[in-house]
A and B are shown apart, each in its own frame.
Chain A
Amino acid sequence: MTEFLAQHTPTLTHWLYLSTLLFSIGLYGLLTRRNAVGILMAVELMLNSAALNFVVFNRFCAPATVDGQIMAIFVIAAAAAEVVVGMAIFVALYRYRGTVDVNAMDTMKD
Chain B
Amino acid sequence: MNAIFYITAAVAVVSTGLAITRANAIHSLLWLVTSLLAVSVIFFVLGAPFVAALEVIIYAGAIMVLFVFVIMMLNLGPDAAEQEREWLSARAWTGPGILALILLAEMVYILKGNVSTLEGARMISPKELSLALYGPYILVVELASLLLLAGLVGAYHLGRRDPASAKELKS
Genuine A/B complex: yes
- Docked Cα-Cα span, A52 to B45, in Å, equals 12
Q: Contact partner of A76 among B54, B129, B132, CB < 8 A?
A: B54
Contacts of A6 in B (CB 8 A): 2
Residue ID in chain A nearest B131 by CB atoms: A66
With A37-B74, A63-B121 as contacts: A18 and B155 at CB distance below 8 Å: no
- 8 Å CB contacts to B: which residues of A35-89? 35, 37-38, 40-42, 44-45, 48, 51-52, 55-56, 58-59, 63, 66-67, 69-70, 72-74, 76-85, 87-89
B144: interface (CB < 8 Å): yes
Interface-facing stretch out of B60-68, B80-88, B95-103, B106-114: B60-68
Residue ID in chain B nearest A41 by CB atoms: B32
B124: interface (CB < 8 Å): yes
Q: Contact partner of B48 among A21, A29, A69, CB < 8 A?
A: A69
- 8 Å CB contacts to A: which residues of B128-171? 128-129, 132-133, 137, 140, 144, 147-148, 150-152, 154-155, 158-159, 169
Binary A-proximity of B48-71 (CB < 8 A = 1, otherwise 0): 101100110011001100110011
Please tell me if the beta carbons of B19 and A52 are within 8 angstroms of each other in the complex: no
Contacts of A83 in B (CB 8 A): 63, 66-67
| Shortest distance between the CB of B124 and any CB in chain A (Å) | 6
> How many pairs of residues, A versus B, come closer than 8 Å at their CB atoms?
169
Contacts of A73 in B (CB 8 A): 50-51, 54, 129, 133
With A5-B3, A10-B118, A83-B66 as contacts: A69 and B158 at CB distance below 8 Å: no
* 5 residue pairs A–B, Cβ–Cβ below 8 Å: A51-B55, A66-B124, A73-B133, A81-B151, A91-B73
Chain B contacts to A: CB under 8 angstroms: 2-3, 5-6, 9, 12-13, 16-17, 19-21, 25, 28-29, 32, 35-36, 39, 42-43, 46-48, 50-51, 54-55, 58-59, 62-63, 66-67, 70-71, 73-74, 118-122, 124, 128-129, 132-133, 137, 140, 144, 147-148, 150-152, 154-155, 158-159, 169
Nearest 9 interchain pairs by C-beta:
A29-B20, A88-B155, A81-B151, A88-B158, A10-B5, A92-B158, A5-B2, A59-B46, A77-B144
Chain A contacts to B: CB under 8 angstroms: 5-6, 8-10, 14-15, 18, 21-22, 25-26, 28-29, 32-33, 35, 37-38, 40-42, 44-45, 48, 51-52, 55-56, 58-59, 63, 66-67, 69-70, 72-74, 76-85, 87-92, 94-95, 100
